[in-house]
Amino acid sequence: MKDSDCIFCKIANGEIPSKTIYEDENFRVILDLAPATKGHALILPKEHYKDLFELPENIASDVIVLAKKLATEMKEKLGCDGFNIMQNSGETAGQTVFHFHMHLIPRYKGDRQKIEWEKKEPSQEELEAVRKQIVEQ
């Protein structure tokens, strides 16, 4: 399904032009308009899924295989030193466009880009309480 109000539906399906670096039946991969680093790209499914929670499992597995393939190619062609592969689901997590997309962010030595979080220091008891909350019914 497509969402007629969704800009990424329009981009993914070619109704709005984009800097496309890859396309197949199910995906279009475009350069981000406001890149964190040179080559920052977004994997867009052509169907509209709001976020990770709506993504069918077969598309989810294809996304990571495609991320690996493109990151490998881009590493060779752009000469980057590493990659951050990121996905934001939900406004609280920083999602701003509500059509699932995976960020591919090439990293270069000394690029001074920040993708980080404040590290907390939970006790073993606190970690155990969280573990139980997740695994217990």
Q: What single DSSP character describes residue 74?
A: H
CA distances from 115 to 68, 85, 90 (A): 19, 11, 18
Site string for ligand 5GP, 50-89 (x = CB under 6 A): --------------------------------------x-
62 near Zn ion, judged by CB under 5 A:
no
14: left (phi over 0), alpha (psi -120 to 50) or beta: left
Q: Is 103 a catalytic residue?
A: no
7 near ligand 5GP, judged by CB under 6 A:
yes
99 near Zn ion, judged by CB under 5 A:
yes
Active-site residue set: 101
Using CB under 6 A as the criterion, which residues of the chain lie in contact with ligand 5GP when the complex forms? Answer: 7, 18, 30, 32-34, 42, 88, 94-97
